[in-house]
Structure 1
Amino acid sequence: MLIEFSVRNFKTFKEKATLSLVASNYDKDTREQENISIDKKFNLRLLKSAVIYGANASGKSKFLEALMFMRSFANSSSKDSQKGDKINVVPFRLNSETEKEPSEFEVIFSKENEMYRYGFEVDSNEVISEWLYHKPKTKEIELFYRDYQDFEIHPKKFKKGNLAVKEGLIRNNSLLLSLAAQLNDEIAIKVIEWFKSLKTISGLREEGYEGYTMHKTKNAEHRRKILDLLKAADLGIQDIKLQMLEPEKLPNDMPKELKEKILKEIQEDDAEFFSDILTFHKKYDDLNNVVETETFSMDKDESSGTKKFFALTGPILDVLENGYTLVVDELDSKLHPNLVCKIVSLFNSTDLNPRNAQLIFNTQDTNLLNSGLFRRDQIWFTEKNKFGEGKLFSLADFKSEDVRKNEAFEDNYIRGKYGAVPYLNLFENLIHKDLFVANENEK
């Protein structure tokens, strides 16, 4: 499970911003059974979900992008780059000092009943520092610390990494962790496996994972679960069927190169391509009796919200079944607020989420604040100051006498009690300036 993630000097965030999923002691009597997972070994109470609010351009998405960057760079820095390649990292650019400084990322997580702390600093040219700590029991052990190309490594507990350093295999623009995992270092592999279990998707562009969900429907049990979710969402869908792409029915206007590639993969690699999902709806007569079933195309006939929810079902089921962490940018886009609440409820449920999967997402949907689904420590905000610097803070950071457990979170947030809302007084000035009135000289 994700315990904590921190970022500094990345895009909107000049100073260090930390999202902690360690539950607050102030909310111990609020949804303790549903929303909390107990780590008895390390005496931790961990949150199963967290939501981030904030004004437009305040850093909601940029914070999640920081986590996505760390995941991507950890997974691929050694194998997907060459010597001299630039690192695609963006520092805080609205300050003349920080734009020249490295960006820093650190994550703390638990896997297989052990705790890890891993982080690095990078600029566009090289890795400045990198570190990995392992806590199998009560004591945290330093496995390695890197300062540019100088390494201090635990020779017994990080053998493959030690070998890679001795052989001079670590490039200045790649991570030791990434290479050590390629060399089959046991601990490095576990860390990389955790990063791979950190599922990050966009709520704005479901086409990136719709194919994954379509593929899942080939399995009868997965198809049943996906259909159960679709029925529970009250979308009117009674059944679904995967429609395979038939080579002889490829569109005439498809680019020749793409058509040849598909045909080659089908013939030589026995690959399968999906063209659509068919959905089946009840058809009624004038007396509202069911007379037959009507077939719809998911792509052509269903609403954008239905298409998005269908695409989400695959990643959601995968995460719940395996106890992964799901990070979604703009979860509420195209979805009804009540449906978003039901998705959150899946993760908070002790019955439907037995492996303690986690959901982290940002949203503009303030209805969730009054849904009763979240504790104060699960509600986070991003806010940007006049210098363009974003910060991240939790509702639990406020004094208990300032924010009570049962107060109207939505109303108070909208009227600005917690901050993290846009300052819109300039709109009043625009009215007084007659912005939309044609200039007399232009008539």
Structure 2
Amino acid sequence: MLLQFSIKNFRTFKDKATLSLIASNYDKDTREHENIVINDNFGLRLLKSAVIYGANASGKSKLLDAFAFMRYFVVNSSKESQKGETIEVEPFKLSTQTENEPSEFEIIFVHKNVYYRYGFEATAERIVSEWLYHKPKTKEVELYYREGSTFNTHERSFTKGNTVVKEGLVRDNALLISVAAQFNEKTAINVLDWFKRLKTLSGLNESGYQGFTMGRTEDPDHKIKILDLLKAADLGIQDIELQKLDINSLPKGMPKELKDKIIKEVREEKQEYVSDVLTKHKKYNEHLKAVGNISFSLDEDESSGTRKFFALTGPILDVIENGYTLVVDELDSKLHPNLVCKIVLLFNSKEFNKKSAQLIFNTHDTNLLSSGLFRRDQIWFTNKNKFGEAKLYSLADFKSDEVRKNDPFEDNYIKGKYGAVPFLGFFENLKFLLTENENEGQKS
């Protein structure tokens, strides 16, 4: 499970920003049974979900982009295709102090009953520093620390990683953790395994994971679970069916090279292409009695919200079934607020989320603040100051006499009590501008 994620000098975040999923002590009597997982090995109380609010351009999405970047870079930086490529970091550009400094990332998690702390600093050209610590029992042990091309490695606990360093196999733009995993360093493999279990999605564009859900429907057991979620969402869908591409009905305007490739793969390699998903709905007669089913095209007949929720069902079920961590940018986009509440409830539920999967997402949906689903330590905000610097903080960071557990969080947030809302004073000038324009129109 994820414990903590920190970034520094990355995009809109100049100073260090830390998102923590370690539960606070003064909220112990609030949704303790539902929203908290107890890790007895390390004496931790961990949150199953966290929501992030903030004005437009305040850093909400940039924070989640940092998750996606770190995951991708850890998993892929050792690959030969990355040789000579720049590292996709972007320092805070609005300050002369930071524009040429490295970006920093650190993550703390528990995987297979071991506590890990891993991080690195990087510029576009090279890794400036990198570190890995683990805590098998009670004491944190340094497995390696890298500063530029100088490595200090634990010879007994990071043996193969030590060999990789001595052989000079780590490029300036590659992470030791990634290279060591390729050479079967057990600890490095475990770290990469956790990163692969960290799933990041865009709530604005479901095309990137709709194919995953479509593939899951071909397994009868998974299809049943997907259908159960769709029915629970009250979308009127009774069944789903994949419509396979008919190579005899390919579009006339399709490029010949692509058409020949598809025909060859279908005929010779027995590959199948899905052209659409058919959703089945009940059909009624004049007496409002069901007389059969009718098929709709997911792409052409269903709403954008239905398409998005269908696409989400596969990743959500996969994450919950396996105890992964899911990070979603704009989860609420296209979805009804009540449906977003139900998704959060799935993750908070002890009955459905038996492997302690975690959900982190950002949203503008303030209804969630009055839903009673979140504790104060699960509600986070991003706020940008006049210098363009984004800050990240939790409702639990306020003093207890400033924010009480029974306060109307939604009303207070909208009123600006917690910050993280846009300053719209300029709109007060629009009346003056409108009047001025009207007067000019009358003069002419």
TM-score by length of 2: 0.97
**Structure 1 counterpart of 2:33:** 33
Q: 2:368 & 2:82 partners in 1: Cα distance?
A: 46
* CA–CA distance in structure 2, aligned partners of residues 287 and 138 of structure 1: 70
CA shift, 1:175, in A, is 0.5
Aligned partners of 1:429 and 1:244: how far apart in 2?
Answer: 57
Letter in 2 for 1:15: D
Judged with a 3 Å threshold, the aligned counterparts in structure 2 of structure 1 residues 343 and 13 are, in CA distance, closer, same or farther, namely: same
**Offset, 1:437:** 2.5
Which residue of 1 is the match for residue 261 of structure 2? 261
Structure 2 match to 1:48: 48
Counterpart position of 1:69: 69
* Mapped partners of 1:438, 1:269: distance in 2: 70
Alpha-carbon shift at residue 425 of structure 1 (Å): 0.7
Give the aligned partner of residue 183 of structure 1: 183
Higher deviation after alignment, 360-369 or 286-295:
286-295
Is 1:242 the counterpart of 2:242? The answer is yes
In structure 2, relative to structure 1, the CA distance for the partners of 1:143 and 1:346 (3 Å cut) is same
Query: How far has the Cα of 1:439 moved from its partner?
Result: 7.9
| Residue deviations 1:236-294 (CA, integer Å, cap 9, x gap) | 01111111112222222122232233233333433221111111111112221111211
Amino acid at match of 1:212: F
Map 1:113-152 → 2, pairs under 5 A = 113-152=113-152
Cα distance change of structure 1 residues 2 and 415 upon mapping to structure 2, 3 Å threshold:
same
Q: Which residue of 2 aligns with 1:172?
A: 172
* Structure-to-structure mapping, 1:93-132, within 5 angstroms: 93-132=93-132
Q: Kindly tell me: are residues 188 and 267 of structure 1, through their superposed partners in 2, closer, same or farther at Cα, counting changes over 3 Å? A: farther
Listed one character per residue, the Cα deviations across residues 356-378 of structure 1 (whole Å, up to 9, x for unaligned) are 00000000000000001000000
Report the counterpart of residue 289 of structure 2 in structure 1. Answer: 289
- Does residue 311 in structure 1 map to residue 301 in structure 2? no
Q: 1:149-198: CA deviations, max 9, x gaps?
A: 00000111111211111111111011111111111111101101110100
Query: Equivalent residue for 1:365?
Result: 365
State the one-letter code of the partner of 1:252.
K
* Structure 1: gaps of 5 or more residues: none
Letter in structure 1 aligned against 2:294: E
User: What is the distance in 2 between the residues matched to 1:4 and 1:337?
Assistant: 27
Letter in 2 for 1:31: R
Pair 1:266–1:358, CA change in 2 (3 A): same
Distance, in Å, in 1 between the alignment partners of 2:33 and 2:385 is 37
Match for residue 430 of structure 1?
A: 430
Deviation track 1:56-91 (CA, whole Å, cap 9, x = no partner) reads 000000000011111111010110544432111111
- Letter in structure 2 aligned against 1:287: H
Aligned residue number for residue 347 of structure 1? 347
* Amino acid paired to 2:14: K
Q: Which amino acid letter does the alignment assign opposite residue 11 of structure 1?
A: R
Q: Which amino acid aligns with 2:58?
A: S
288-297 vs 49-58, greater mean Cα deviation: 288-297
Distance 1:114 1:121 in 2: 23
State the match for 2:385 in structure 1: 385
Instruction: Provide the C-alpha distance between the structure 1 equivalents of 2:81 and 2:402, rounded to a whole number of angstroms.
Output: 50
Matched letter for residue 100 of structure 2: K
What amino acid maps onto 1:418 in structure 2? Y
For 2:366 and 2:436, how far apart are their aligned partners in 1? Answer: 31
Q: How large is the Cα RMSD of the aligned pairs?
A: 1.4
Deviation at 1:435, TM superposition (A): 7.8
Q: CA deviation at 1:429?
A: 1.9
CA distance in 2, matches of 1:264, 1:155: 53
Question: CA 1:266–1:365 in 2, change beyond 3 Å: closer, same or farther?
Answer: same
1:219 corresponds to 2:231: no
Whole-Å separation in 2 of the counterparts to 1:434 and 1:344: 44
SS at match of 2:90: coil
1:373-414 superposed Cα distances (whole Å, 9 cap, x missing partner): 000000000000000000000000001111111111000000
Supply the AA of the counterpart residue of 1:36.
Answer: I
Alpha-carbon spacing, 1:130–1:435, altered in 2? closer, same or farther (3 Å): farther
Percent identity (aligned): 67
Amino acid at match of 1:291: V
Give 2:251's aligned residue: 251
Q: How many residue pairs align between the two structures?
A: 443
